[in-house]
A and B are shown apart, each in its own frame.
Chain A
Amino acid sequence: MRTRGGGLRTLRRDYQLWIMIAPAIAAVLIFNYIPMYGIQLSFRDFDFSKGLTGGEWRGLDYFRQFIDSYLFSDLMRNTFLISLATIIVGFPAPIILALILNQIRRKRMKTLMQTTVYLPHFISIIVLVGMMNVLMSPETGVIGYMMKGLGLGHINLIASTNTFIPVYVLSDIWQHCGWNSIIYLAALSTVDPQLYDSAKIDGASRWQLIRNVDIPALIPTILILFILSMGNILSTGFEKIFLMQNSLNLPVSEVISTYVYKIGIISNQFSYASAIGLFNTVINFVFLFAMNAISKKMSNTSLY
């Protein structure tokens, strides 16, 4: 097949495929790639009168400014810890939930459960945090009452440096677990019922069915989503953390995104904010790249 004009031949063979993907490529090129010249801003001064890319070249100055900045190590540590906790606890949760929901045989109950678990996804963050403040108030909140009832004492969950990350992660799971499980439920729906039947005839227990039929069906999706989640290692959400911050939990709750916001609103630090953003991106990308390589080697699953 390796003749000259092979490229042309595959092009002729695949022309329908090219037609199908052309709109997506065009959209990505136009809306994602054309503005990319803006990345230069991380290496230049922002000089309005000379245009976006006309400012003086500063090389890595802004990156150095960030790395040398007073809060750098705290920010990195907090950001890493929060997103690691989110991945470790938050990633398996929707998988487990999907497996549980998938076990329910009664149709009514299944519909009710599925519809319920996905509702919290639609609550806006302002309301979520407002509600957390009310419910977790040590004096007047339901959770405060319950903790007193259980003899857990008088802990202010929203104020302690020890409880900030658990509260953040668990509320995140509460909000998005059901929503994220949808994708796994869809994957489970592709399992051939014959597989169950034949396994049952072999005398497999419910637990064995889950382990040997359901989980393998989820593996490709799990791997891909896990690789992608590693690519978010430095991207914690901004709004929720910002709203949850108070002066007592600040030592663990100041993260890169909230810091950028705080320096940004005081004056338009376009170049500096852009450099911090790029710094984030590069680290995220390195993690994704590494994770993808590992996955490719071990299971032949890969993003690209």
Chain B
Amino acid sequence: MALKGLTGKELAFHIVLYALCAVIFLIIVYPLYFIIIASFSDSTLVSTGKVLLFPKGSSLFGYKEIFQDSRVWIGYRNTLFYTVFGTFVNMLFTMPAAYVLSRKEFKARRPIMFLFVITMFFNGGLIPTYLLMKDLHLTNTFWVFILPFCVNIFFLIIARTFFETALPAELHEAAVMDGCSHFMYFAKVALPLSKALISVIGLYYLVGHWNDFFTGLIYIRDNNLQPLQIVLRDILLSNQVFQNGAGTGGGAASGGYAQRYADQIKYGVIIVSSLPILMLYPFLQKYFEKGVMIGSVKG
């Protein structure tokens, strides 16, 4: 695509656009690059500003330390399961509800929506919630990652708005004419037309599960059930020497040995924990391409 054939205005637009993109790209990429080189470098050099463009005093100590820990693998396995299964349940609960709330003829939609919105603000606090989970025998089981709060009201609202605005009313009328029930319409028309939405909401839920460490922190006692984030947090903290001050705690303890590599681990942990989910995005991205939906209506 040569720029030759463009009019002056178009050309200016392109120049501005690409310049803008280049700036945004650099601002975002440099710190990310920094994290990567810091994960290989001697952390004393990192924190004194000696590592700017290339790794220095490089070693793989951080990664070795992280992957040496057998809990990391258990954590990966658990998190993978919680994320996949959890997101599946999330979508199962959220999508039909969002569709229902988008139907104007559904009389109860306003009160129900209000009931939902309230919960975005008011909650009973951690202790009553903990007691509830205990009574439901969810504590210290994997279900606690899946079932509670399987409907995120924020995502529900986004999905509802999407259904309201993106699905043409005529489509539903035509479907009703053909004797299409709500079940049919939802499954055969609404969902296939909402790939972009499903990707977005799915991705949001997925990442929510992936990053969740609070559930593990509060409700899980068995180390074999802990998600990756808890494990990595432990590794991270074990290398933060400032915890208790010297003498009584870590300071004197960790000595020069752990100190030198503390930041390597800190930055390495980020890469280990987010790489899998980062690789997911390019696959979902195609659903954001323009005209996906309309194209499929016609096709």
Q: Are chains A and B touching in the complex at the 8 Å CB cutoff?
A: yes
The residues of A with any CB-CB pair to B shorter than 8 Å are: 10, 14, 16-18, 20-21, 23-25, 27-28, 30-39, 41, 52, 97, 100, 102-106, 109, 111-124, 126-127, 130-131, 134-135, 137, 139-142, 144, 174, 178, 182-183, 185-194, 205-207, 220-221, 224-225, 228, 231, 270, 274, 277-278, 281, 284-285, 288, 303-304
- Tell me the minimal C-beta distance from B237 to chain A in angstroms: 9
- Contact A39-B93, Cβ < 8 Å, known A21-B100, A122-B277, A140-B49: no
Q: What residue of chain B has the Cβ atom nearest to residue A15's Cβ?
A: B182
- Contact A189-B287, Cβ < 8 Å, known A17-B100, A304-B110: yes
B103 contacts the other chain (CB 8 A): yes
Residues of A within 8 A of B211 (CB): 122
**Complex: how many Å from CA A205 to CA B48?**
51
Residues of B within 8 A of A205 (CB): 9, 13
Q: What residue of chain B has the Cβ atom nearest to residue A170's Cβ?
A: B27
Q: How many residues of B contact A (CB 8 A)?
A: 102
Q: Which of B115, B181, B211 has the most CB of A within 10 A?
A: B115
- Tell me the minimal C-beta distance from B34 to chain A in angstroms: 7
- Tell me the minimal C-beta distance from B217 to chain A in angstroms: 13
Contact partner of A193 (CB less than 8 A), chosen from B147, B274, B290, is B290
On whether the beta carbons of A140 and B48 are closer than 8 Å, the reply is yes
* Interface segment, one of B68-76, B197-205, B220-228, B251-259: B197-205
Q: What residue of chain A has the Cβ atom nearest to residue B294's Cβ?
A: A192
Q: What residue of chain A has the Cβ atom nearest to residue B27's Cβ?
A: A174
Residues of B within 8 A of A119 (CB): 28, 32, 278
- Tell me the minimal C-beta distance from B102 to chain A in angstroms: 10
What does DSSP make chain A's interface, helix, strand, loop or mixed? helix
**Given known contacts A25-B112, A115-B285, A135-B31, what 9 new A-B pairs fall within 8 Å (CB)?**
A23-B92, A27-B93, A32-B119, A119-B278, A124-B270, A131-B31, A188-B290, A206-B10, A288-B117
The residues of B with any CB-CB pair to A shorter than 8 Å are: 1, 9-10, 13, 17, 20-21, 24-25, 27-32, 34-35, 38, 46-50, 52, 92-94, 96-97, 99-101, 103, 105-107, 110, 112-117, 119-125, 127-129, 131-132, 147-151, 153-154, 156-158, 161-162, 164-166, 181-183, 186, 196-197, 199-200, 203, 207, 211, 236, 263, 266-267, 269-270, 273-274, 277-278, 281-282, 285, 287-294
On whether the beta carbons of A186 and B200 are closer than 8 Å, the reply is yes
On whether the beta carbons of B103 and A127 are closer than 8 Å, the reply is no
On whether the beta carbons of B100 and A20 are closer than 8 Å, the reply is yes
Residues of A within 8 A of B96 (CB): 20-21, 23-24
On whether the beta carbons of A207 and B120 are closer than 8 Å, the reply is no
Contact partner of A105 (CB less than 8 A), chosen from B1, B267, B277, B293, is B1
Q: Which of A39, A121, A189, A191 has the most CB of B within 10 A?
A: A189
On whether the beta carbons of B166 and A190 are closer than 8 Å, the reply is yes
On whether the beta carbons of A31 and B148 are closer than 8 Å, the reply is yes
- Tell me the minimal C-beta distance from A10 to chain B in angstroms: 6
Residues of A within 8 A of B263 (CB): 130
Q: What residue of chain B has the Cβ atom nearest to residue A127's Cβ?
A: B270
**Complex: how many Å from CA A193 to CA B183?**
29
On whether the beta carbons of B13 and A21 are closer than 8 Å, the reply is no
Contact partner of A24 (CB less than 8 A), chosen from B97, B128, B236, is B97
Residues of B within 8 A of A140 (CB): 48-50
On whether the beta carbons of B122 and A123 are closer than 8 Å, the reply is no
- Contact A35-B181, Cβ < 8 Å, known A24-B93, A123-B35: no
On whether the beta carbons of A104 and B127 are closer than 8 Å, the reply is no
- Tell me the minimal C-beta distance from B120 to chain A in angstroms: 7
Q: What residue of chain B has the Cβ atom nearest to residue A128's Cβ?
A: B31
On whether the beta carbons of A39 and B124 are closer than 8 Å, the reply is yes
Residues of B within 8 A of A192 (CB): 291, 294
**Complex: how many Å from CA A189 to CA B198?**
13
On whether the beta carbons of A113 and B27 are closer than 8 Å, the reply is no
The 22 sampled A-B contact pairs (Cβ below 8 Å) are A10-B107, A20-B100, A23-B93, A33-B119, A35-B129, A38-B129, A39-B124, A102-B290, A104-B21, A105-B1, A113-B21, A130-B266, A134-B34, A134-B49, A174-B31, A185-B288, A187-B162, A187-B165, A192-B291, A193-B294, A194-B294, A206-B13
